Amino acid sequence: MAEAFLVQLRRRGVERLFVNSGTDFASLVEAYARRKDSGLDLPDVVVCAHENLAVSMAHGSYLGDGRVQAVMLHTSVGTANAVCAVFNAARSRVPVLLTAGRTPLFEHSMLGSRDAPIHWAQEMFDQAGMLRELVKWDYELRDGAHVQDVVDRALDIATTEPRGPVYLSLPREVLAGPVFGPQDAAAPALPSTAHPDPAAVARLADHLASATFPVIITGDAGADRRAVPLLAELSERFGIAVVESGVRHVNIPADHPLHAGYAVGEVLAEADVVCVLDLDVPWLPGSSTPRADAVVVQCGPDPSFSRYPMRTHRTDLTITANVTALLPALTAALAERAVDPGRADRLAARVGGWRERRARLLETESAAGGPITKAFLNTALAQVRPSDAVVVNEYWASPEILGSTVPGTYFGTPPAGGLGWGLPAAMGVQLARPTTTVIATLGDGAYMFANPAACHQAMAMHHLPVLTVVCTNAHWGAVQSSALRMYPDGHAAGAPELSPLARLDPAPRFAAYAEASGGLGLHVTERAELVPALQRALRTVQDERRHVLVDVECA
């Protein structure tokens, strides 16, 4: 049955199987060993030495090529290790088929029954319960005759919008058992995207056409790269400003004349029509909200974010639709309406201030001395980064300073914020786009959460020349800043030293992790060293195809 399962994955377009193996993999080991004799077309195995690495690499591979991915974990304990990464995939709407072996059902007398002491301790009453709240569907394969239907059902649900992970447990005896009946049925029809209600589009077009200061807020519209030129055309043609918030993708080129920057509060004060494109938190209700007389429209495949227990952001019109389907419909509707032809020029003059601030910051940081700051680190990366290089950011890379213009070249931290995502996700992007330069930008905390020894070992094993740049400041910035926001006049704010709850010192020499697996490790402490180090790192990943880590001591 293991062979039938693997064959079905490959038939349905799953090219890779990310694995962290255990005793439940015996039948898969045999299937891959038999491949030369069987001639079966099976998914390529991507071995990962930790479950967070496996699931986050699959996440990154989906970002890289847009194809559904598959992961197999080791029973209950592997599933437990993967929950944080599954959380990230769920909130990012990433379609991954998560499978895990199940501790053998039988104690004896069947092929695959329990043959090691661990098989008693690892069994759970409800293994899937650990992540049931995060996946769209969970099931257990009960018989080999069912394998084709079960795989098809899992993939269908994972790829139906809003997309997301699904979970399938595989008892060892079932994997070892025979398959009965035909296993060559035609593939099921792929689920179509959600198209908008024409009447709702017409209402939105009316609001946008008559507005004085219309604004689109987004952070995820560029998850489908086809949406980027569509949004750029809509904005420029009809004079609609676009502001990015919680940026996780390139949604509109940073040099677009109507790109309104990244500070939502600055535009909400003036906007009379606010259109939110598939963004879970378009503003922070405690600090900024749309004007009372503004029209607010929420759009997306799940515009209410129904899997979030609470979300009460205001809406006057809600449109359920795939963004890539909505934008052409909205463009067509606006083309039939009278729109002030001078609005685009007036808005462009009003919203371009952030580019001037960026230029001043780049100039100031380039000329400044002293320790390396995050702003200077961004300035240096912006100076050396090829325009088509992909940045996978988990901490310090600023979309505002980097100014990305090419769709699919920036991926930001998932909304769930489960640490340890960035480095393995960058590896997954590299796997999906082998000729692309991929740069992982991390803080020291996020890097340590990623199980760096496992990550660099996998880079060597799978020939993934990722450039990793770690901003090492030996503290949890989010922990300290959160305390100061809540208690600006409190004891922590007045303390002469960093809170012990936010400290990460002493900082290890992270470059050694890369060197231990055959990569290049660089350690930078001075501003003058940074650009040459990044240039050397880029030459190494591009010319030698070898992974590099640049450990940068930051203030």
Q: pLDDT digit string (tens) for 221-269?
A: 999 999 999 999 999 999 999 999 999 999 999 999 999 999 999 999 9
When comparing pLDDT for 121 and 368, which is higher? 121
Please check the confidence at residue 292 and state whether its pLDDT lies above 80.
Answer: yes
Rounded to whole angstroms, the Cα distance separating 195 from 324 reads 9
Rounded to whole angstroms, the Cα distance separating 55 from 72 reads 9
Q: What is the pLDDT of residues 340-370, one digit of tens each?
A: 999 999 999 999 888 888 888 888 887 888 9
Q: Which of 351, 386, 404 corresponds to the end of one domain?
A: 351
Report which of 323, 304, 326 is spatially closest to residue 313, judged by C-alpha positions: 304
For residue 63, give Cα distances in angstroms to 153, 155, 341, 371, 428.
Answer: 23, 17, 37, 35, 8
Query: Does any domain span residue 93?
Result: yes
Judgement on whether residues 33 and 111 belong to the same structural domain of the protein: yes
Rounded to whole angstroms, the Cα distance separating 408 from 49 reads 28
Query: Does any domain span residue 8?
Result: yes
* pLDDT for res 138: 98
Q: What is the pLDDT of residues 392-406, one digit of tens each?
A: 999 999 999 999 999
Amino acid at 185: A
Query: Does any domain span residue 151?
Result: yes
**What SS3 state is found at 320?**
strand
Please check the confidence at residue 314 and state whether its pLDDT lies above 70.
Answer: yes
Strands 16-19, 241-244: pairing is unpaired
User: Which residue has 């008559």 as its token pair?
Assistant: 210
Query: Does any domain span residue 53?
Result: yes
Judgement on whether residues 372 and 495 belong to the same structural domain of the protein: yes
**C-alpha torsion angle, residues 527, 529, 532, 534 (rounded to 10):** -70
Instruction: Report the percentage of the chain scoring pLDDT > 70.
Output: 99
Enclosing domain of residue 416: 354-553
Judgement on whether residues 219 and 74 belong to the same structural domain of the protein: no
- Write down the pTM of the prediction: 0.96
Judgement on whether residues 522 and 387 belong to the same structural domain of the protein: yes
Q: What is the pLDDT of residues 504-547, one digit of tens each?
A: 899 999 999 999 999 999 999 999 999 999 999 999 999 999 99
Burial level of 441, CB count in 10 A (0-12/13-18/19+)? buried
Report which of 48, 174, 41 is spatially closest to residue 106, judged by C-alpha positions: 174
Domain of residue 76, CATH code:
3.40.50.970
* pLDDT for res 136: 98
| Number of domains into which the chain is organized | 3
For residue 403, give Cα distances in angstroms to 208, 252, 261, 359, 391.
Answer: 27, 10, 10, 11, 11
Judgement on whether residues 359 and 270 belong to the same structural domain of the protein: no
Judgement on whether residues 163 and 203 belong to the same structural domain of the protein: no
Average pLDDT over residues 129-145: 94
Judgement on whether residues 461 and 344 belong to the same structural domain of the protein: no
Rounded to whole angstroms, the Cα distance separating 471 from 80 reads 29
* pLDDT for res 183: 62
DSSP secondary structure letter of residue 143:
-
Compute CA 65 distance to the chain's CA centroid, rounded to the nearest angstrom: 13
Judgement on whether residues 72 and 98 belong to the same structural domain of the protein: yes
Question: What crossing angle do the helices spanning 452-462 and 51-65 adopt, rounded to 10°?
Answer: 50
Judgement on whether residues 278 and 422 belong to the same structural domain of the protein: no
Please check the confidence at residue 180 and state whether its pLDDT lies above 80.
Answer: no
Query: Does any domain span residue 68?
Result: yes
Instruction: Report the percentage of the chain scoring pLDDT > 90.
Output: 86
Judgement on whether residues 263 and 363 belong to the same structural domain of the protein: no
Judgement on whether residues 411 and 528 belong to the same structural domain of the protein: yes
Rounded to whole angstroms, the Cα distance separating 364 from 316 reads 43
Judgement on whether residues 164 and 211 belong to the same structural domain of the protein: no
* pLDDT for res 184: 66
Q: Which of 291, 321, 351 corresponds to the end of one domain?
A: 351
pLDDT averaged over every residue in the chain: 95
Average pLDDT over residues 400-424: 96
Confidence at 126, pLDDT banded by 50, 70, 90: very high
Q: State phi, psi for 547 to the nearest 5 degrees.
A: -75, 150
Tokens of 175: 């994997």
